[in-house]
Amino acid sequence: MTEEQNNPAGNGTNGEGPTHSGFVALIGATNAGKSTLVNRLVGAKVSIVSHKVQTTRAIVRGIAIHNNAQIVFMDTPGIFKPRRRLDRAMVTTAWGGAKDADVIMFLIDSERGLKGDAETILEGLKEVHQPKILVLNKVDRVNPEDLLKLAAAANEVVKFERTFMISALNGSGCEDVLDYLAAALPEGPWYYPEDQISDLPMRQLAAEITREKLFLRLHQELPYSSHVETERWEERKDGSVRIEQVIYVERDSQKKIALGKNGDAIKAISMASRKELSEILEQPVHLFLFVKVRENWGDDPARFREMGLDFPTS
Protein backbone atom coordinates (compact mmCIF):
# COMPACT_ATOMS: atom_id res chain seq x y z
CA MET A 1 0.00 0.00 0.00
CA THR A 2 1.36 3.39 -0.94
CA GLU A 3 1.51 6.28 1.52
CA GLU A 4 -1.21 8.05 -0.47
CA GLN A 5 -3.48 5.00 -0.20
CA ASN A 6 -2.83 4.73 3.55
CA ASN A 7 -3.52 8.43 3.93
CA PRO A 8 -6.50 9.24 1.68
CA ALA A 9 -7.14 12.69 3.18
CA GLY A 10 -3.85 13.84 1.71
CA ASN A 11 -2.28 14.36 5.13
CA GLY A 12 1.38 15.25 5.47
CA THR A 13 3.62 12.99 7.57
CA ASN A 14 7.30 12.83 8.21
CA GLY A 15 7.43 9.80 5.91
CA GLU A 16 8.59 7.44 8.64
CA GLY A 17 6.21 4.69 9.65
CA PRO A 18 2.42 4.37 9.45
CA THR A 19 -0.04 7.08 10.43
CA HIS A 20 -2.06 6.93 13.64
CA SER A 21 -5.39 8.59 14.39
CA GLY A 22 -8.10 8.56 16.99
CA PHE A 23 -10.36 10.39 19.40
CA VAL A 24 -9.41 11.43 22.92
CA ALA A 25 -12.21 12.55 25.26
CA LEU A 26 -11.34 15.02 28.00
CA ILE A 27 -13.66 14.66 30.95
CA GLY A 28 -13.57 16.27 34.35
CA ALA A 29 -15.43 18.46 36.78
CA THR A 30 -16.39 22.00 35.80
CA ASN A 31 -13.49 24.46 35.61
CA ALA A 32 -10.85 21.72 35.78
CA GLY A 33 -9.13 23.38 32.81
CA LYS A 34 -10.30 21.15 29.94
CA SER A 35 -10.82 23.94 27.41
CA THR A 36 -7.51 25.58 28.29
CA LEU A 37 -5.77 22.22 27.85
CA VAL A 38 -7.41 21.51 24.49
CA ASN A 39 -6.34 24.91 23.20
CA ARG A 40 -2.81 24.27 24.47
CA LEU A 41 -2.53 20.81 22.89
CA VAL A 42 -4.02 21.93 19.56
CA GLY A 43 -1.90 25.08 19.55
CA ALA A 44 -4.85 27.34 18.67
CA LYS A 45 -8.12 28.65 20.09
CA VAL A 46 -10.80 26.05 19.43
CA SER A 47 -12.69 26.07 22.73
CA ILE A 48 -13.84 29.06 24.73
CA VAL A 49 -12.62 29.73 28.25
CA SER A 50 -14.17 31.77 31.04
CA HIS A 51 -14.38 31.93 34.82
CA LYS A 52 -17.98 30.76 34.67
CA VAL A 53 -18.69 27.10 35.35
CA GLN A 54 -20.27 24.98 32.60
CA THR A 55 -19.01 27.29 29.85
CA THR A 56 -18.53 24.37 27.42
CA ARG A 57 -21.94 22.97 26.50
CA ALA A 58 -21.51 20.58 23.58
CA ILE A 59 -18.52 18.53 22.47
CA VAL A 60 -15.89 20.67 20.75
CA ARG A 61 -13.32 18.77 18.70
CA GLY A 62 -9.83 20.19 18.45
CA ILE A 63 -7.40 18.51 16.06
CA ALA A 64 -3.68 18.21 16.74
CA ILE A 65 -0.94 16.73 14.56
CA HIS A 66 1.93 15.21 16.51
CA ASN A 67 4.61 13.02 14.95
CA ASN A 68 2.68 10.77 12.54
CA ALA A 69 -0.55 10.96 14.51
CA GLN A 70 -3.71 13.00 14.17
CA ILE A 71 -5.18 13.38 17.66
CA VAL A 72 -8.79 14.55 17.80
CA PHE A 73 -9.44 15.98 21.26
CA MET A 74 -13.07 16.06 22.38
CA ASP A 75 -13.58 18.86 24.88
CA THR A 76 -16.70 17.74 26.76
CA PRO A 77 -18.94 19.74 29.09
CA GLY A 78 -17.92 19.62 32.74
CA ILE A 79 -19.65 16.83 34.65
CA PHE A 80 -21.64 17.97 37.67
CA LYS A 81 -24.89 17.20 39.47
CA PRO A 82 -27.58 18.35 37.02
CA ARG A 83 -30.51 20.44 38.18
CA ARG A 84 -32.19 21.61 34.96
CA ARG A 85 -32.88 20.20 31.51
CA LEU A 86 -29.83 21.97 30.03
CA ASP A 87 -27.66 20.55 32.81
CA ARG A 88 -28.88 17.00 32.09
CA ALA A 89 -28.21 17.39 28.37
CA MET A 90 -24.66 18.59 29.01
CA VAL A 91 -23.78 15.78 31.44
CA THR A 92 -25.28 13.14 29.12
CA THR A 93 -23.22 14.59 26.25
CA ALA A 94 -20.03 14.44 28.31
CA TRP A 95 -20.43 10.77 29.22
CA GLY A 96 -21.51 9.95 25.66
CA GLY A 97 -18.33 11.54 24.34
CA ALA A 98 -16.25 9.48 26.74
CA LYS A 99 -17.81 6.23 25.62
CA ASP A 100 -17.21 7.05 21.93
CA ALA A 101 -13.50 7.79 22.37
CA ASP A 102 -10.40 5.66 21.78
CA VAL A 103 -8.77 7.04 24.92
CA ILE A 104 -10.27 8.87 27.89
CA MET A 105 -8.30 11.62 29.60
CA PHE A 106 -9.56 12.36 33.11
CA LEU A 107 -8.48 15.85 34.13
CA ILE A 108 -8.31 16.80 37.80
CA ASP A 109 -7.71 20.25 39.23
CA SER A 110 -4.83 19.42 41.60
CA GLU A 111 -5.76 22.26 43.95
CA ARG A 112 -9.27 20.89 44.46
CA GLY A 113 -8.29 17.21 44.36
CA LEU A 114 -10.83 14.40 44.60
CA LYS A 115 -13.72 16.37 46.01
CA GLY A 116 -17.35 16.59 44.99
CA ASP A 117 -17.88 16.11 41.26
CA ALA A 118 -14.32 14.82 40.63
CA GLU A 119 -14.90 11.94 43.04
CA THR A 120 -18.27 11.15 41.42
CA ILE A 121 -16.68 11.09 37.95
CA LEU A 122 -13.91 8.80 39.16
CA GLU A 123 -16.50 6.31 40.40
CA GLY A 124 -18.35 6.57 37.08
CA LEU A 125 -15.17 5.74 35.17
CA LYS A 126 -15.25 2.23 36.65
CA GLU A 127 -18.07 1.47 34.20
CA VAL A 128 -16.21 2.83 31.15
CA HIS A 129 -13.96 0.28 29.48
CA GLN A 130 -11.78 2.34 27.13
CA PRO A 131 -8.13 2.94 28.04
CA LYS A 132 -7.89 5.82 30.50
CA ILE A 133 -5.12 8.22 31.47
CA LEU A 134 -5.04 10.52 34.48
CA VAL A 135 -3.94 14.13 34.05
CA LEU A 136 -3.35 16.30 37.11
CA ASN A 137 -3.61 19.96 36.13
CA LYS A 138 -2.29 23.11 37.86
CA VAL A 139 0.55 21.14 39.42
CA ASP A 140 2.66 24.30 39.77
CA ARG A 141 0.31 25.37 42.57
CA VAL A 142 0.52 22.20 44.67
CA ASN A 143 3.16 20.60 46.88
CA PRO A 144 4.83 17.61 45.07
CA GLU A 145 4.09 15.30 48.01
CA ASP A 146 0.39 16.12 47.81
CA LEU A 147 0.43 15.47 44.06
CA LEU A 148 1.82 11.99 44.59
CA LYS A 149 -0.85 11.25 47.20
CA LEU A 150 -3.57 12.50 44.85
CA ALA A 151 -2.28 10.36 41.96
CA ALA A 152 -2.09 7.29 44.21
CA ALA A 153 -5.61 7.82 45.54
CA ALA A 154 -7.10 8.12 42.03
CA ASN A 155 -5.22 5.06 40.76
CA GLU A 156 -6.55 3.00 43.67
CA VAL A 157 -10.09 3.55 42.38
CA VAL A 158 -9.50 3.24 38.61
CA LYS A 159 -6.67 1.56 36.71
CA PHE A 160 -5.14 4.33 34.59
CA GLU A 161 -2.66 3.46 31.85
CA ARG A 162 -0.51 6.47 32.72
CA THR A 163 -0.53 9.48 35.03
CA PHE A 164 0.65 12.91 33.84
CA MET A 165 1.30 16.05 35.83
CA ILE A 166 0.87 19.23 33.82
CA SER A 167 0.03 22.91 33.74
CA ALA A 168 -2.37 23.66 30.88
CA LEU A 169 -1.73 27.35 31.45
CA ASN A 170 2.05 27.37 30.91
CA GLY A 171 2.35 24.13 28.92
CA SER A 172 4.50 22.21 31.40
CA GLY A 173 4.17 18.45 30.81
CA CYS A 174 1.86 18.83 27.79
CA GLU A 175 4.45 17.56 25.29
CA ASP A 176 4.64 14.29 27.25
CA VAL A 177 0.87 13.87 26.90
CA LEU A 178 1.09 14.38 23.12
CA ASP A 179 3.99 11.92 22.82
CA TYR A 180 2.02 9.26 24.68
CA LEU A 181 -1.22 9.73 22.75
CA ALA A 182 0.52 9.80 19.36
CA ALA A 183 1.92 6.35 20.07
CA ALA A 184 -1.15 4.95 21.85
CA LEU A 185 -3.78 5.72 19.21
CA PRO A 186 -4.50 3.00 16.64
CA GLU A 187 -2.86 2.91 13.23
CA GLY A 188 -5.00 4.29 10.44
CA PRO A 189 -5.60 7.20 8.05
CA TRP A 190 -6.30 10.66 9.38
CA TYR A 191 -9.91 11.79 9.72
CA TYR A 192 -9.41 15.44 8.78
CA PRO A 193 -7.23 17.48 6.39
CA GLU A 194 -3.84 18.37 7.85
CA ASP A 195 -4.57 22.10 8.17
CA GLN A 196 -7.93 21.70 9.95
CA ILE A 197 -7.87 22.42 13.69
CA SER A 198 -11.56 22.03 14.59
CA ASP A 199 -14.79 20.58 13.23
CA LEU A 200 -16.76 23.55 14.51
CA PRO A 201 -18.40 25.57 11.67
CA MET A 202 -17.08 29.13 11.56
CA ARG A 203 -20.53 30.62 12.24
CA GLN A 204 -20.76 28.56 15.41
CA LEU A 205 -17.19 29.34 16.47
CA ALA A 206 -17.95 33.05 16.03
CA ALA A 207 -20.99 32.69 18.29
CA GLU A 208 -18.88 30.87 20.87
CA ILE A 209 -16.26 33.62 20.82
CA THR A 210 -18.94 36.22 21.55
CA ARG A 211 -20.41 34.04 24.31
CA GLU A 212 -16.95 33.85 25.88
CA LYS A 213 -16.62 37.65 25.85
CA LEU A 214 -20.13 37.95 27.28
CA PHE A 215 -19.24 35.73 30.24
CA LEU A 216 -15.83 37.34 30.77
CA ARG A 217 -17.51 40.73 31.02
CA LEU A 218 -20.64 39.75 32.95
CA HIS A 219 -19.95 36.38 34.58
CA GLN A 220 -21.16 37.55 37.99
CA GLU A 221 -24.38 39.12 36.74
CA LEU A 222 -25.57 36.95 33.85
CA PRO A 223 -26.69 33.29 34.13
CA TYR A 224 -24.76 30.71 32.12
CA SER A 225 -27.95 29.79 30.26
CA SER A 226 -27.51 32.90 28.08
CA HIS A 227 -27.03 31.89 24.46
CA VAL A 228 -25.54 33.43 21.29
CA GLU A 229 -26.51 32.64 17.69
CA THR A 230 -24.95 33.88 14.45
CA GLU A 231 -27.90 34.89 12.28
CA ARG A 232 -26.15 36.51 9.32
CA TRP A 233 -22.73 36.10 7.70
CA GLU A 234 -21.97 38.20 4.64
CA GLU A 235 -18.63 38.21 2.81
CA ARG A 236 -18.19 41.67 1.31
CA LYS A 237 -16.42 42.75 -1.89
CA ASP A 238 -13.81 44.76 0.04
CA GLY A 239 -12.56 41.57 1.74
CA SER A 240 -14.32 42.20 5.04
CA VAL A 241 -17.15 40.18 6.60
CA ARG A 242 -20.38 41.43 8.17
CA ILE A 243 -21.58 39.28 11.05
CA GLU A 244 -24.88 39.72 12.87
CA GLN A 245 -25.41 37.86 16.14
CA VAL A 246 -28.19 37.69 18.70
CA ILE A 247 -27.59 37.26 22.43
CA TYR A 248 -30.61 35.47 23.89
CA VAL A 249 -31.52 35.92 27.54
CA GLU A 250 -34.54 34.71 29.47
CA ARG A 251 -35.78 37.91 31.14
CA ASP A 252 -35.96 41.67 30.54
CA SER A 253 -33.78 42.27 33.60
CA GLN A 254 -31.03 40.17 31.98
CA LYS A 255 -31.36 42.15 28.75
CA LYS A 256 -30.62 45.35 30.66
CA ILE A 257 -27.51 43.72 32.17
CA ALA A 258 -26.27 42.56 28.76
CA LEU A 259 -26.73 46.01 27.27
CA GLY A 260 -25.24 47.86 30.26
CA LYS A 261 -25.63 51.49 31.19
CA ASN A 262 -25.78 53.57 27.99
CA GLY A 263 -24.92 50.39 26.05
CA ASP A 264 -21.43 50.20 27.61
CA ALA A 265 -21.48 46.44 28.21
CA ILE A 266 -22.62 45.43 24.73
CA LYS A 267 -20.09 47.81 23.15
CA ALA A 268 -17.22 46.31 25.14
CA ILE A 269 -18.33 42.76 24.35
CA SER A 270 -18.65 43.59 20.64
CA MET A 271 -15.22 45.22 20.54
CA ALA A 272 -13.48 42.28 22.24
CA SER A 273 -15.25 39.70 20.07
CA ARG A 274 -14.63 41.63 16.84
CA LYS A 275 -10.91 41.92 17.63
CA GLU A 276 -10.49 38.17 18.20
CA LEU A 277 -12.62 37.22 15.19
CA SER A 278 -10.56 39.51 12.94
CA GLU A 279 -7.41 37.73 14.12
CA ILE A 280 -8.90 34.26 13.58
CA LEU A 281 -10.40 35.06 10.17
CA GLU A 282 -7.46 37.23 9.09
CA GLN A 283 -9.86 39.78 7.60
CA PRO A 284 -11.72 42.89 8.83
CA VAL A 285 -14.91 42.07 10.74
CA HIS A 286 -18.02 44.24 11.11
CA LEU A 287 -19.85 42.75 14.08
CA PHE A 288 -23.39 43.73 15.05
CA LEU A 289 -24.82 42.40 18.32
CA PHE A 290 -28.48 42.39 19.33
CA VAL A 291 -29.99 41.29 22.63
CA LYS A 292 -33.38 39.58 22.67
CA VAL A 293 -35.50 37.99 25.37
CA ARG A 294 -36.56 34.42 24.68
CA GLU A 295 -38.43 33.13 27.71
CA ASN A 296 -38.00 29.47 28.66
CA TRP A 297 -35.65 28.80 25.76
CA GLY A 298 -34.21 26.04 27.96
CA ASP A 299 -37.34 24.01 27.15
CA ASP A 300 -37.10 24.51 23.37
CA PRO A 301 -35.75 21.45 21.46
CA ALA A 302 -34.63 23.68 18.53
CA ARG A 303 -32.25 25.60 20.80
CA PHE A 304 -30.67 22.35 21.99
CA ARG A 305 -30.12 21.24 18.40
CA GLU A 306 -28.52 24.64 17.67
CA MET A 307 -26.03 23.96 20.50
CA GLY A 308 -25.31 20.41 19.37
CA LEU A 309 -27.12 18.80 22.33
CA ASP A 310 -29.80 16.14 22.47
CA PHE A 311 -33.03 17.37 24.05
CA PRO A 312 -33.79 15.42 27.25
CA THR A 313 -37.43 14.35 27.24
CA SER A 314 -37.59 13.89 31.01
The set of residues, in sequence order, having a beta carbon less than 8 Å from that of 308 and lying 6+ positions away, is 57, 58, 59, 93
Q: How far apart are CA 235 and CA 284, in angstroms?
A: 10
Q: What is the pLDDT of residues 209-222, one digit of tens each?
A: 898 899 888 876 66
Confidence of residue 51 (pLDDT cuts 50, 70, 90): very low
- Cα separation, 42 vs 198, in Å, equals 9
Distance CA 99, CA 125 (A): 10
Whole-prediction pTM value?
Answer: 0.69
List, for residues 89-106, the tens digit of each pLDDT value: 555 555 565 677 899 999
The dihedrals phi and psi of 145, each to the nearest 5 degrees, come to -65, -40
Task: Return mean pLDDT, the chain.
Answer: 81
Question: In 248-281, which positions are buried (b, 16+ CB within 10 angstroms) versus exposed (e)?
Answer: bbbeeebeebbbbeeeebbeebbebbbebbbeee
Residues 6+ apart with CB under 8 A from 281: 202, 241
Considering only CA atoms, which of 119, 86, 103 is closest in space to residue 227? 86
